[in-house]
């Protein structure tokens, strides 16, 4: 019996969190160690205040966000008030996955996660593009 793909339910927040956990676990040990204190969160969309602050009008334009101080900019005198966080936004990622139609969802989630982890490690968007030219 074949299942109609259009009748299938979209993966929920818990499934996205699991995809992100698997993607993180597949990264090299050094990267996982550098990200050990990083929180990874999944939400349907970025908060309105975040979108306004970033000058983004369409919430579907933001698939992920690093919220914190990159490791390369930290000082021993910094006293964190909350954990650095990587946000993955489920609905924009799902929309891109559907629009692209040429990539597995777990690969797209991993790609967005790695992009945001790179910001945690102190890489600029240009640095990321130098090693990962997959345009999102």
The domains of the chain are located at 11-69+81-131
DSSP string computed for 78-121: ---SS--EEEEEHHHHHHHHHHH-SS-HHHHHHHHHHHHHHHHT
**Prediction pTM value:** 0.84
Residue 74 has a pLDDT of 77
pLDDT tens for each residue of the chain, 136 residues long: 444 455 467 899 999 999 999 999 998 888 889 899 899 999 999 999 999 999 999 999 999 999 998 888 877 777 767 789 999 999 999 999 999 988 999 999 999 999 999 999 888 777 777 666 554 4
> 11-69+81-131 maps to which CATH number?
3.30.2010.20
Give phi and psi for 40, each to the nearest 5: -115, 120
Task: Find all residues with CB under 8 Å of 20, minimum gap 6, and list them.
Answer: 40, 42, 88, 109, 110, 113
Residue 27 has a pLDDT of 87
In three-state secondary structure terms, 30 is helix
Residue 84 has a pLDDT of 92
Residue 64 has a pLDDT of 97
């Amino acid at each position: 019996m074949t299942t109609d793909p259009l009748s299938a339910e979209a993966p929920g927040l818990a499934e996205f969190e699991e995809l992100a956990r698997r993607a993180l676990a597949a990264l090299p040990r050094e990267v996982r160690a550098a990200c050990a204190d990083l929180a990874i969160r999944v939400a349907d969309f970025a908060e309105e205040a975040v979108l306004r602050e970033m000058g983004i009008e369409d919430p579907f334009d933001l698939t992920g966000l690093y919220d914190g101080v990159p490791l390369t900019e930290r000082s021993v005198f910094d006293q964190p008030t909350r954990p650095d966080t990587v946000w993955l936004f489920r609905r924009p990622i799902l929309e891109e996955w559907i629009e692209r139609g040429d990539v597995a969802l777990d690969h797209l989630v991993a790609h967005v996660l790695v992009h945001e982890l790179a910001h945690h490690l102190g890489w600029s968007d240009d640095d990321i593009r130098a090693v990962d030219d997959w345009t999102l």
